[in-house]
A and B are shown apart, each in its own frame.
Chain A
Amino acid sequence: MTRSRARARRAAGTGAPLLAIPPALIGVAFLLLPTLALLVRTRWSDLRQIYSSREVWPALRLSLESSIEATIISLILGVPLAWMLARVRAPGMGVVRAIVTIPLVLPPVIGGVALFQAFGRNGLLGHPIHSVFGQDLPFTYPAIVVAQAFVAMPFLVITVEGAFRISDQDVEEAAATLGASRTRIFTHVTIPLVLPAIVAGSVLCWARALGEFGATLLFGGNVTGITQTLPTDVLTVFQTHPEDAPALSLPLMAVALIVLVALRDKWLRSAASS
């Protein structure tokens, strides 16, 4: 039955386009090979020893904590920003959007340089803060969170802005006629309707923050247990004991896989019930 259907499709000219198949397959292989190579080259029998001697646990914990905090900051600041970009018609919104997009295209290490210029001891904002409070931001744990938030927040903003744009303002009108104040409309109607996009944006943002390397290395200082994330730890390990480096990629891959699978399940279930 299926064969004749496929034949019918080919006859009708709507079967698989032969030209597209080889590039697609090569594309999959290209993306798959490095990941596979990591798994193949990992020294599975020596894992425990590698992890304890190469400072993996402190680095992993730091990575998870900082990336989650960076995502929370991105949510608090990013969702209202996304709303403003999508709904407010004012001259200059295009400029604001361009500013938001900058960390997306800026090489992260330049992001690190920029963070120094802003928040370093002699930075635009950092200098007055140092003079008044005697505190510095660079080379501290908060610096890691700030660096991650800087590079990752735009992902959240762009994702959520898109959802706000296409979201149904008619339903918000209906809420207004039913007596809902503007705040209530925002919290009880607007946000719930873009919730899938907020979740997707948060996952993107968190993944970006978790993997951030250049800005965190520069701005954070890479001190074990305080400012050394797993990505920067991998660099150090690769420089001195390259054969141990593949093993360090496993925790990150495992965490990413667990979260992505868990999220997929949740959205499949809610889609089925609605």
Chain B
Amino acid sequence: MSLTIEGAVRLGEFELDIAVRAEPGEVVAVLGPNGAGKTTALRVAAGLLSLDSGRVQIGEDVLDAPGVYVPPQQRRVGVVFQDHRLFPHLRVVDNVAFGLRSRGVRAAPARAAAREWLARVGLADLAGRRPAQLSGGQAQRVALARALASQPAALLLDEPLAALDVQTRAEIQGELRQHLADYDGPTLLVTHDPIEALLLASRIVVLEGGRVAQEGTAAQIAGFPRTPYVARLVGVNLYTGTALHGVVELDGGGVLVASDVIDGRVLVALRPSAFTVHTELPAHSSARNVWACRVTSLAPLGDRIRLTAQGDQSVLVDLTPLAVAELELAPGRDVWLAAKATDVTAYPSP
């Protein structure tokens, strides 16, 4: 049974207008910056919020539509929250069994099923503890077990790893991937971390300002980002402009020559590694694009240095530390950036 959310809801000044569908067994990531409406979308699916227009549906069951609203307790959705929200007054095993007990299962079988789930997330020996005695990672595992134990028709995860430290996050991501693969219902994963989306989801929906900015597989999104946010996410320089036979007049100034033959309104993408930096105007170069810029900042990025420069446009360039040292690059330095036309990708603007 697939999960469909298609509709709009207004919360004060903010409006969410979204259409998402997740098939059984599929993990769809809802990716976006803070305030984009990702958590709102999840709360709509969970029934903690209702749409002003449109519908929420799992399989044939309509959960939210004009004139219809099914409260959360009657939707069979499992939710894992960012802050685990385990019941502090119950032991771990009773936390996991809570959903089953609420649906009428008797204490003994519910606890037995709970213990099985705890074993599956590797925490069987913590069954008798209280949530306050668990680490962040353990608590989230219990929260996942709790959500899955009542065999939900759809699984909703609200930034499940965001509150964990980097090391724990890395450990759990792998496990989470396996559990999601084992779960046969549709999964909606809300996250602001593109790596998490890449790792766990087969399809990504990018949400910005309450609207779907882009949707597709990881490869589609990384290759052809459609908004500055997405571009920043995948680490790409993105510009808008008007093209004529592959020569693009960029909005805001400057010209880029692309290798694609294309006309009309376009998006132009260049990877930061596509630029070379020169302290003098390069002569006799094969690069079709040369820009005069001033260096605004330098920041380490792994084993490289990411340089930000400003000319008609803002540019991200990746360099080796050696290159930065040899050219004596520093903020305020005037430089020239060169890029080959073949490294410039232009595609039609939506």
B88 close to A176 (CB less than 8 A): no
B98 close to A176 (CB less than 8 A): no
CA distance A63 to B133 in the complex (A): 43
A-B contact pairs, 25 of them (CB 8 A): A170-B83, A170-B85, A171-B88, A173-B72, A173-B85, A174-B79, A174-B87, A177-B46, A177-B47, A177-B72, A177-B73, A177-B78, A177-B79, A177-B147, A178-B98, A179-B74, A181-B73, A182-B73, A189-B87, A193-B88, A195-B89, A273-B130, A274-B88, A274-B132, A274-B133
Interface range, B side: 20 to 34
**B59 located at the interface, meaning its Cβ lies under 8 Å from any Cβ of chain A in the complex:** no
Give every chain A residue within 8 A of B102 (Cβ-Cβ). 175, 178-181, 184
Instruction: Kindly name the residue among B46, B73, B75, B79 whose own CB sees the greatest number of chain A CB atoms within 10 A.
Output: B73
Give every chain A residue within 8 A of B85 (Cβ-Cβ). 168, 170-171, 173-174
State the majority secondary structure of interface residues on A: helix
Task: Give residues in B with beta carbon < 8 Å to A.
Answer: 46-48, 71-79, 81, 83, 85-89, 98-99, 102-103, 130, 132-133, 146-147, 150
Give the Cβ gap from B258 to chain A, nearest Cβ, in Å.
49
CA distance A170 to B78 in the complex (A): 15
Give every chain B residue within 8 A of A170 (Cβ-Cβ). 81, 83, 85
B87 close to A175 (CB less than 8 A): yes
CA distance A191 to B78 in the complex (A): 24
Instruction: Kindly name the residue among A176, A178, A189, A192 whose own CB sees the greatest number of chain B CB atoms within 10 A.
Output: A178
Instruction: Kindly name the residue among A168, A179, A195 whose own CB sees the greatest number of chain B CB atoms within 10 A.
Output: A179
Task: Give residues in A with beta carbon < 8 Å to B.
Answer: 168, 170-171, 173-182, 184, 189, 192-193, 195, 273-274
CA distance A174 to B87 in the complex (A): 9
Besides the known contacts A173-B48, A182-B73, 5 further A-B residue pairs in the complex with CB atoms under 8 A apart = A168-B85, A171-B86, A173-B85, A178-B98, A178-B150
With A184-B102, A274-B130, A274-B133 known to touch, is A176 a contact of B87 (CB < 8 Å)? Answer: no
Give every chain A residue within 8 A of B75 (Cβ-Cβ). 177
Give the Cβ gap from B141 to chain A, nearest Cβ, in Å.
15
Give every chain B residue within 8 A of A175 (Cβ-Cβ). 87, 98, 102
CA distance A174 to B48 in the complex (A): 10
Closest to A172 in B: B85
